[in-house]
């Protein structure tokens, strides 16, 4: 019955069942013997969440007594603990490791690792400051919450989708606004792929161009990549430059190209840094009038989650994507779809440069070369030129 169903459909069905059958054991609602271990764990976690919302005293042990098949399954118990914590945090309760040490003495080591994951900069994410970072209805799967460092204070959920969540917060130690981006990842990712993804974020944090907004900290917890970066106060680039002269827009794009090139020239353990998902919504004009590129890596991680493939984090793939995306933005600015035929003939050389750089396999200097071309075109006051 449930083997082919999505998590969302199971949540909906069990929620309806629990409205009418609040105290009925799970085995009386579903034929548990017919379910695979993986699907049984999903169902048990969903049911624990729904029942604990109705009866806060419901705990992991209640489900283990009802579903004895899971009682000796270490991974199942950890997933159920995740589900219980999710509701406790939702209710505003504090969660400490010691709460579970007495209840599950055989899992103390595993549980400690689960709630105290490391990050790229050696700052432990403390269970003492845990909080749910998205509304429960927006979570893509059970247990999708992250535990934040003690210096992070959540202020507002800016946006949430099935793929990601953006939260505005504050770094209380350095007294500055920060953004927390959570990207949900597929369960199929191996530990090697997870380590690779974290190294990719670490490399992105090393790029130093002033237009490049580098990640400060990152961790992977409970199937989600969490990245904290500075919050940029400003306006979306298209809005801020809507009435600006073409030369101003092109100077902005040249800076974008040079920032991307600076990232591509930055080397880490898994090759060069890259953005991996550039589009105009990643471009912000700050309060000083300077263009900034945000969300490095996040869109790559979303692509991984959607495709269940690891190729999206390959350095060459991400650099080629940057070249393609940067060229697409340049073409849209200099040759809009509603441009006149005469203006399109005048702008053909820059378009040809975009096409040539997209077509070539070598990306080492591509973004810098295109930035040079954009700047030359801007400084020529839109006169015909060759590149």
Note whether 248 and 343 are same-domain residues: yes
Note whether 186 and 269 are same-domain residues: no
Residues 6+ apart with CB under 8 A from 121: 216, 217
Q: Which of 9-18, 207-216, 293-302, 310-319 has the lowest mean pLDDT?
A: 310-319
The mean pLDDT value of the chain amounts to 77
DSSP secondary structure code for residue 232 in this structure: P
What mean pLDDT is predicted for residues 180-198? 78
CB 240, CB 234: distance < 8 Å:
yes
Assess whether pLDDT exceeds 70 at residue 327.
yes
Between 113 and 183, where is the model more confident?
Answer: 183
Domain that holds residue 93: 7-114
Domain boundary among 92, 114, 136: 114
State residue 172 phi and psi, 5-degree precision: -75, -20
Note whether 82 and 14 are same-domain residues: yes
Per-residue pLDDT at 277: 85
CATH of the domain at 221: 3.30.200.20
Note whether 256 and 285 are same-domain residues: yes
Note whether 276 and 220 are same-domain residues: no
Q: Write out pLDDT tens, residues 160-179.
A: 776 778 888 888 888 888 99
Residue 1, domain member (yes or no): no
What mean pLDDT is predicted for residues 40-64? 90
Q: Which of 106-110, 146-150, 188-192, 348-352 has the lowest mean pLDDT?
A: 106-110
Residue 32, domain member (yes or no): yes
> How many distinct structural domains can be found in the chain?
3
Write out the chain in H/E/C secondary structure.
CCCCCCHHHHHHHHHHHHHHCCCCCHHHHCCHHHCCHHHHHHHHHHHHHHHHHHCCCCCHHHHHHHCHHHCCCHHHHHHHHHHHHHHHHHCCCCCCCHHHHCCCHHHHHHHHHHHCCCCCCCCCCCHHHCCCCCCHHHCCCCCCCCCCCCCEEEEEEEEECCCEEEEEEEECCCCEEEEEEEEECCCCCCHHHHHHHHHHHHHHCCCCCCCECCCCEEEEECCEEEEEEECCCEEEHHHHCCCCCHHHHHHHHHHHHHHHHHHHCCEECCEECCCCCCCHHHEEEECCCCEEECCCCHHHHHHHHHHCCCHHHCHHHHHHHHHHHHHHHHHHHHCCCCCCHHHHHHCHHHHHHHHHHHHCCCCCCHHHHHHHHHHHHHHCCCCCCCC
CATH of the domain at 302: 1.10.510.10
Half-sphere exposure of 11 toward its Cβ, with a 13 Å CA cutoff? 12
Note whether 290 and 357 are same-domain residues: yes
Residue 320, domain member (yes or no): yes
Per-residue pLDDT at 102: 83
Distance CA 250, CA 252 (A): 5
Assess whether pLDDT exceeds 80 at residue 274.
yes
Note whether 168 and 219 are same-domain residues: yes
What mean pLDDT is predicted for residues 108-129? 37
Per-residue pLDDT at 131: 29
Note whether 107 and 67 are same-domain residues: yes
Residue 238, domain member (yes or no): yes
What mean pLDDT is predicted for residues 50-78? 89
Residue 387, domain member (yes or no): no
Domain boundary among 90, 114, 138: 114
Residue 42, domain member (yes or no): yes
Note whether 128 and 75 are same-domain residues: no
Distance CA 333, CA 249 (A): 8
Note whether 267 and 374 are same-domain residues: yes
Residues 6+ apart with CB under 8 A from 213: 229, 230, 232, 292, 293, 294, 296
Domain boundary among 53, 85, 114: 114
Note whether 149 and 239 are same-domain residues: no
| pTM of structure | 0.60
Distance CA 267, CA 248 (A): 31
**In 144-297, which residue ranges form alpha helices assigned H by DSSP?**
191-204, 237-240, 246-264
Residue 386, domain member (yes or no): no
Residue 281, domain member (yes or no): yes
What mean pLDDT is predicted for residues 363-382? 85
Note whether 15 and 81 are same-domain residues: yes
State residue 372 phi and psi, 5-degree precision: -60, -45
Sheet holding 234-236, edge to edge: 234-236, 283-286, 291-293
Q: At 300, is the pLDDT very low, low, confident or very high (cuts 50, 70, 90)? A: low
What percent of the chain has a predicted confidence (pLDDT) above 90?
21
Q: At 83, is the pLDDT very low, low, confident or very high (cuts 50, 70, 90)? A: confident
Q: Write out pLDDT tens, residues 228-239.
A: 999 988 889 999
């Amino acid at each position: 019955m449930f083997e082919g169903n999505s998590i969302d459909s199971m949540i909906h069905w069990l929620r309806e069942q629990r409205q009418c059958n609040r105290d009925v054991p799970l085995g009386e609602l579903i034929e548990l013997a017919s379910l695979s271990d993986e699907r049984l764990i999903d169902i048990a976690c969903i049911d624990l969440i729904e029942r604990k919302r109705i009866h806060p005293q419901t705990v992991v042990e209640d489900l283990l007594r009802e579903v004895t098949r899971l009682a000796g399954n270490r991974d199942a118990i950890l997933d159920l603990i995740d589900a219980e914590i999710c509701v406790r945090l939702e209710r505003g309760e504090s969660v400490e490791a010691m709460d579970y040490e007495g209840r599950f003495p055989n899992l103390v080591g595993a549980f400690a690792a689960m709630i105290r994951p490391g990050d790229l900069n050696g700052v432990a994410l403390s269970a003492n400051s845990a909080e749910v970072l998205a509304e429960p209805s927006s979570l893509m799967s059970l247990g999708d919450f992250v535990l934040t460092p003690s210096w992070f204070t959540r202020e507002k959920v800016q946006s949430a989708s099935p793929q990601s969540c953006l939260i505005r917060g504050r770094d209380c130690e350095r007294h500055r606004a920060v953004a927390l981006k959570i990207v949900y990842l597929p369960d199929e990712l191996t530990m090697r792929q997870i380590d690779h993804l974290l190294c990719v974020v670490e490399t992105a944090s090393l790029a130093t161009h002033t237009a490049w907004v580098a990640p400060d900290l990152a961790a992977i917890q409970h199937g989600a990549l969490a990245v904290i970066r500075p919050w940029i106060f400003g306006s979306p680039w298209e809005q801020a430059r809507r009435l600006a002269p073409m030369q101003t827009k092109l100077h902005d794009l040249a800076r974008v190209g040079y920032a991307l090139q600076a990232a591509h020239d930055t080397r880490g353990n898994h090759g060069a840094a890259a953005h991996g998902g550039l589009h105009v919504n990643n471009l912000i004009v700050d309060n000083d009038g300077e263009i900034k590129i945000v969300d490095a890596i996040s869109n790559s991680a979303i692509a991984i989650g959607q495709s269940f493939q690891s190729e999206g984090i390959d350095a060459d793939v991400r650099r080629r994507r940057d070249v393609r995306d940067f060229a697409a933005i340049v073409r849209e600015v200099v040759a809009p779809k509603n441009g006149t035929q005469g203006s399109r003939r005048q702008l053909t050389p820059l378009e040809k440069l975009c096409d040539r750089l997209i077509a070539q396999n070598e990306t080492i200097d591509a973004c810098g070369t295109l930035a040079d071309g954009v700047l030359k075109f801007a400084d020529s006051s839109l006169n015909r030129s060759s590149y």
